[in-house]
Homo-oligomer: A and B are copies of this chain.
Amino acid sequence: MKATVFYAQGDVRVENVPDPQIQCPTDAIVRITHACICGSDLWFYTGKDKWKPGSRTGHEWMGVIEDVGSEVRNFKKGDRVLSPFSFSDGDCEFCNKGLQTSCLQSGFWGGENEGGQAEAITARFADATLIKIPEEVANDDGMLTKILPLTDVMATGHHAAISAGVKVGSTVAVIGDGAVGLCGVLAAKRLGAERIIMMGRHENRLAIARKFGATDVVSSRDEAAIQAVQELTKGGAECVLECVGTESSMQTAIGITRPGGTIGYVGVPHGNGTINLSRMFRSNLALCGGVAPSRAYIPELLSDVIALKIDPSPVLDMVVDLEGVPAGYKAMNDRAAIKVMVKLSSG
List A residues at the B interface (Cβ < 8 Å).
94, 97, 99, 101-102, 163, 250, 259-260, 265, 268-269, 272-278, 280-291, 293
Q: Is the CB of B282 within 8 A of A99?
A: no
CB-based nearest B residue for A104: B235
A285 to B102, CA, bound (A): 11
20 extra interface residue pairs, beta carbon distance < 8 Å, beyond A99-B260, A269-B280, A273-B277: A94-B259, A94-B260, A99-B259, A99-B284, A101-B282, A102-B259, A163-B286, A250-B277, A265-B281, A268-B281, A269-B277, A269-B281, A275-B275, A275-B277, A280-B287, A280-B290, A281-B291, A282-B290, A285-B290, A288-B288
Partner of A260, one of B102, B268, B277: B102
Residues of B within 8 A of A286 (CB): 163, 286-289
**27 sampled A-B residue pairs with Cβ under 8 A:** A94-B259, A94-B260, A97-B260, A101-B282, A102-B259, A102-B284, A163-B286, A269-B278, A269-B280, A269-B281, A272-B274, A273-B274, A273-B275, A273-B276, A274-B274, A274-B275, A275-B277, A281-B290, A282-B291, A283-B290, A284-B289, A284-B290, A284-B291, A285-B290, A286-B287, A286-B289, A287-B288
Min C-beta distance of A40 to chain B, whole Å: 12
The 7 lowest CB-CB distance pairs between A and B, nearest first, are A102-B259, A284-B290, A269-B277, A286-B288, A273-B277, A287-B287, A281-B290
Q: Which residues of B contact A99 (CB under 8 A)?
A: 259-260, 284
- Least CB separation from A263: chain B residue: B287
A285 to B286, CA, bound (A): 11
Number of identical monomers bound together in the oligomeric complex: 2
Closest to A103 in B: B259
Which residues does chain B contribute within 8 Å of A265, judged by CB atoms? 281
For A277, list chain B residues within 8 Å (CB).
Answer: 250, 269, 273, 275
Q: Determine the chain B residues whose CB is within 8 A of the CB of A163 once the complex forms.
A: 286
Query: Of A97, A259, A274, which is in contact with the most chain B CB atoms at under 10 Å from its CB?
Result: A259
In the complex, the chain B residue whose C-beta lies closest to that of A98 is B260
How far in angstroms is the closest Cβ of chain B from A322?
30
A189 to chain B, nearest CB (A): 24
Residues of B within 8 A of A284 (CB): 99, 101-102, 289-291, 293
- How far apart are A292's CB and chain B's nearest CB, in angstroms? 9
The residue on B at minimum CB distance from A247 is: B277
CA distance A280 to B286 in the complex (A): 13
When distances are taken between beta carbons in the complex, the residues of chain B under 8 Å from A276 are 273
Bound complex: CA A102 to CA B279 (Å): 11
Chain B residues within 8 Å of A101, by CB: 282, 284
Closest B residue by C-beta to A268: B281
Give the distance in Å from the alpha carbon of A280 to the alpha carbon of B290 in the complex. 7
Q: Which residue of B lies closest to A266 (CB)?
A: B281
Q: Give A1 Cβ to nearest chain B Cβ, in Å.
A: 31
- Tell me, rounded to whole Å, the shortest Cβ–Cβ distance linking A109 to chain B: 16
Output the least CB separation between A199 and chain B (Å).
20
Q: Which B residues lie within 8 Å of A285 (CB)?
A: 290
Residues of chain B within 8 A of A268, CB atoms compared: 281
